[in-house]
Structure 1
């Protein structure tokens, strides 16, 4: 099965400030704020929704096509993706821009200040679907270029390619009518519980009304697992997989989506596919960063069996 993953490719540049931001910000001078924080070095990691989802799918022995834009500083990320054996045929390189980057500074109280440069992500990836066989394809539209997020659902509907719509952190960029158009025809609308509330507020529609547009709504609930709500009224609570330690939950959502796609690609029903999703997410949270976890298929299915019984 051909799997298309549209979204972002980004560098996560993480810095640690050994003090507290609050010690250097004067409340009565906030209107003329001018501060400098000396950090303890910089840690660069590979990230972005498309990169993260594709990375975990690759661990699950799928070879997705990444649909995203990268910039003139893409060399190290490109090398990393090629080392994973991932296709770059859907990655458009924009030589006048930098690859999208998040600059995250965390103080010793875990407060964060983040600057995000969209860079090449401002440009659509412009993938040509004319030679894609619709009977053997699956797609996810994850947060990334806003034009891609609007145009790819239309392309998938025209080609009868089932797709997962995941607006995520891009939600505030769309109005209600745009969201309704992107959701209409989706196989699955996936979001966390807060994002689902935002979607309902923006569209003015209830969950039941959204289910007239998307066949299924999956709501992720962190350590409480996820909830599947189907158009036929059936709901399924999916438990989270047990973990050895929780180090960084940042990449759990993208890993969940990777496992969900893997389960669907295997032809499993949604409740079973969501167990694959929970298992995949459990590996991600045990490591700092979104593409730092690793597992063999034997290790993956051993954890799946430990949590949920033998795979069907």
Structure 2
């Protein structure tokens, strides 16, 4: 029996969230009116929320020397995430995201790859994969992710995949390799459409080709769950005042997997995931407003059973 419920592979990052009056033009500066340093990265987010939802979680990310002894390292330990298998680059800093938002809620993103360069020279951790019941692959190095997926899938592990904003790093062949070695594909509406276009397949054809489940998030319009030879299931989104919608996707994936690995049907998984996401988006940062499982179940039952 596996000791770990879920192994999460991908980025753990420091996030700098900035509010600006306007975006600067070339050779000029712009005033930053608010600055927050938060803990993020798609894999880090999924690991923390999955752990809070009751799973035993292992996290593998490439981090830098600045991660050791950091508040983020301490938080992951306190949240019950196993970080013994993290890949540390002693000569580089941890991947860092810079997010700038203007008063019109338009955004600009800059990403420092940093220690993530080490994926390309690091062997996959076969022991960690074998020790887990399931593996979720988030943003990160495509070649490393594919190697992990192939090994896990060949050893009968449940594999889920969410390329997120790193979808542009995947070649068409990369996507073919990944989708033939995963059970669940997650993505937002744009990402799923891009994957369909790159592979020249529709959703039904992708289901026949590889993953048996595709989960497509639709923002405030909820989400849709597709399975082979079954009608799509639509999950309504809960209506809340969103402070920061960027964390909705990672929290949804983590919560969905927390229920799927317990044997619940995909409709219940989607409703649970949507409810968790409704809490997350009400605060800045993905890891700052995580509900308890009891809170989620109560709110979910109130909303979806009416």
Aligned 1:274-289 pairs, distance under 5 A: 274-289=270-285
Offset of residue 85 of structure 1 = 2.2
Aligned 1:166-205 pairs, distance under 5 A: 166-205=162-201
| In 2: Cα distance, 1:271 partner to 1:111 partner | 33
CA contact (8 A) 1:20 1:109 kept: no
1:14 aligned partner: 17
Of 48, 58, 63, 1:55 maps to 48
Residues 68-112 of structure 1 deviation map (CA, whole Å, 9 limit, x = unaligned): 111111122111211212110221111111100012232333333
- Uncovered stretches (5+) of structure 1, i.e. residues with no partner: 26-32
Secondary structure at the counterpart of residue 190 of structure 1: strand
Secondary structure at the counterpart of residue 126 of structure 2: coil
Aligned 1:43-122 pairs, distance under 5 A: 43-74=36-67, 75-122=70-117
- Alignment RMSD, CA only? 2.0
Structure 1 pair 126/50, CA: closer, same or farther in 2 (3 Å)? farther
Secondary structure at the counterpart of residue 305 of structure 1: helix
| In 1: Cα distance, 2:82 partner to 2:178 partner | 26
Of 241, 258, 268, 2:264 maps to 268
CA contact (8 A) 1:7 1:67 kept: yes
| In 2: Cα distance, 1:258 partner to 1:90 partner | 20
Of 138, 144, 149, 1:142 maps to 138
Offset of residue 127 of structure 1 = 4.4
The structure number with the bigger radius of gyration is 1
Of 195, 202, 211, 1:214 maps to 211
| In 1: Cα distance, 2:216 partner to 2:106 partner | 27
Offset of residue 41 of structure 1 = 5.3
Offset of residue 14 of structure 1 = 1.8
| In 1: Cα distance, 2:237 partner to 2:300 partner | 11
CA contact (8 A) 2:124 2:148 kept: no
2:231 aligned partner: 234
Offset of residue 131 of structure 1 = 6.4
1:3 aligned partner: 6
| In 2: Cα distance, 1:131 partner to 1:218 partner | 26
Residues 198-234 of structure 1 deviation map (CA, whole Å, 9 limit, x = unaligned): 1011112222221121111111111111111111233
Offset of residue 129 of structure 1 = 2.5
Residues 242-269 of structure 1 deviation map (CA, whole Å, 9 limit, x = unaligned): 43x2111110000000111111121112
Residues 179-213 of structure 1 deviation map (CA, whole Å, 9 limit, x = unaligned): 01101132111111111111011112222221121
CA contact (8 A) 2:124 2:147 kept: no
| In 1: Cα distance, 2:128 partner to 2:258 partner | 23
CA contact (8 A) 1:262 1:276 kept: no
CA contact (8 A) 1:185 1:215 kept: no
CA contact (8 A) 1:67 1:127 kept: no
Secondary structure at the counterpart of residue 201 of structure 1: helix
Q: Does 1:35 align with 2:28?
A: yes
Secondary structure at the counterpart of residue 65 of structure 2: coil
